[in-house]
C-alpha cells in the first residue's frame, strides 16, 4: 500500500447510529453558527446541543419527561379502530367487566371462564 492509502483509510470516520429512543421525539438540525450540532424537540421546537461525551441524550430524555407538547401513550392502552389504525383510548374497568358478564350470559359459559389463564382476567 502507498502512504496515501494508509492515511486516507485512517481519516475516514464511521458515523455512529442513533440508537436512543429520544430520536423519536427530536430531529437533528445540524451544526449552527456557534459550531455545535443541535437537535430540535418535535413537540415544542426547543433546540438543544447534542454530540460528544458532554452532550449525550440524558438531557433530551429529561426534556421529554417535562415537555407538555411531547405526547406518548401507553401501548397497553391502545386499541385498533375499524380502519385498522391505533387509537389511544383508556380502558374503563366497569365497561370491560360488563362486557365480560354479557359474554358469559349470552354464550352460556361457566362462571369459571374469567379464571382461564389465557384470558388475563383472573
Is 32 part of any domain? yes
Determine contact, residues 57/22, Cβ cutoff 8 Å: yes
Per the model's pLDDT, the better-predicted residue between 20 and 105 turns out to be 105
Is 62 part of any domain? yes
Write out pLDDT tens, residues 25-71.
888 888 888 888 999 988 888 899 898 778 888 888 888 888 877 76
Name the DSSP letter for residue 2. -
Tell whether 66 and 82 lie within a shared domain: no
Is 40 part of any domain? yes
* pLDDT (0 to 100) of residue 106: 92
* pLDDT (0 to 100) of residue 113: 78
Tell whether 60 and 81 lie within a shared domain: no
Antiparallel, parallel or unpaired: β 47-49 and 86-88: unpaired
* pLDDT band for position 114 (cuts 50, 70, 90): confident
Is 96 part of any domain? yes
Domain coverage including residue 108? 76-115
Tell whether 96 and 81 lie within a shared domain: yes
Is 3 part of any domain? no
How many domains is the chain partitioned into structurally? 2
Amino acid at each position: 500500500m502507498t502512504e496515501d492509502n494508509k492515511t486516507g483509510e485512517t481519516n475516514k470516520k464511521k458515523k455512529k447510529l442513533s440508537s436512543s429512543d429520544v430520536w423519536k421525539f427530536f430531529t437533528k438540525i445540524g451544526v449552527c453558527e456557534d459550531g455545535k450540532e443541535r437537535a430540535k424537540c418535535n413537540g415544542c421546537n426547543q433546540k438543544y446541543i447534542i454530540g460528544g461525551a458532554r452532550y449525550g441524550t440524558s438531557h433530551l430524555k429529561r426534556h421529554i419527561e417535562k415537555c407538555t407538547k411531547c405526547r406518548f401513550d401507553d401501548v397497553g392502552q391502545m386499541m385498533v379502530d375499524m380502519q385498522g389504525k391505533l387509537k389511544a383510548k383508556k380502558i374503563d374497568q366497569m365497561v370491560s367487566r360488563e362486557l365480560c358478564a354479557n359474554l358469559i350470559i349470552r354464550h352460556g359459559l361457566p362462571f369459571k371462564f374469567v379464571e382461564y389463564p389465557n384470558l388475563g382476567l383472573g
